[in-house]
Structure 1
């Protein structure tokens, strides 16, 4: 019986481009695709510049530089979250403070949806911040996107609705109270997605209806809050709740 012979291919030293073969007639393997290195997280100096971009409301530049690159935006979110000096504020907290366009908010929330219910060191969500700014488009978007945030309490047991109705509410050092009480449209935008928030009392046992009265809201705004309170109480007792036209938002 003849024994099969084994052929070994020798590679010359000057053939550095050829792949080494360790077994007879081994097929050439395709090289692995190169790994694209992930960009490093922003340095503190770079992070400050980015936050200044938000504060200056250069939304088109911010959109192009970060929101059009989800991985880069997530790195920014992570860098902000890990910066103690920001007291737990997220990128979304900062964005809603400076009246971003709805499309910019929508893109940020699409990439990082958990930011809607993220809280800072004082338990405030981005919706709490939007409420004190009086930006109706941001309030509408955040309340409709995340209705559960309407009932979340901050460290003073205030909901976004209470903050909206309390013209003396101040969230940031250096800010003053608001000159005008919230409009009917603002209250409606925050109230409709989650009626239950209207009966919540803060640490001083004051609810949104009482704050609205104290702040001098117009009569129909107070009536809207009162009607919402009645509906919530009726529902809790199992009574029939009739549709209220005031609680239907007109688009």
Structure 2
């Protein structure tokens, strides 16, 4: 994939324009999260912050973090640790980021060579921002979809994904249904990443057929890397 050659100001203006046009549109249910872009700076909308892609071909690309309800980007330290756990080369992986938000997790995977990354987000303004980033990065492996993350997981073919990313709004009731759907969609050799306000245990995950492989607490965030349980429900 080629790096963007447009100046940050031009991309920022286009993102703001897209967000303004989309913000009035009604959104389906679901949550939001954190985002990504190329080495050429992508300035954040006024009053918002920004994060950066940690590694891969778009390393140090700045991603705008818009002021949207429930938007909570995954901290740099947590993303760095996650991709250390997974290994830096995700060539050929099939990934689904169920609550994409600004796209940080899914774009980190694409930056490291994932073959297919589906970004699912319900907020219209965030979807517009993700589409702009995908086009400017020329991220051919990335597909942006406006919709419900749990429904997208349920629609995925059984055992078809190498990595499922789950980071829903912390004040919602999406964790259990998302984990149950992810357990069906992930391959037996794959991984499910879960970000939550509390630690999940093997006992709590048993009904989903998942087990804890790695865990990290960073501030109020509990980051989990999960694997299908031996003899579980996944294929």
TM normalised by structure 2 equals 0.31
> Highest Rg: 1 or 2?
1
Tell me which of the two structures has the higher relative contact order, counting C-alpha pairs closer than 8 angstroms and 6 or more residues apart: 2
More strand by share: 2
TM-score by length of 1: 0.29
Identify, as 1 or 2, the structure richer in helix: 1
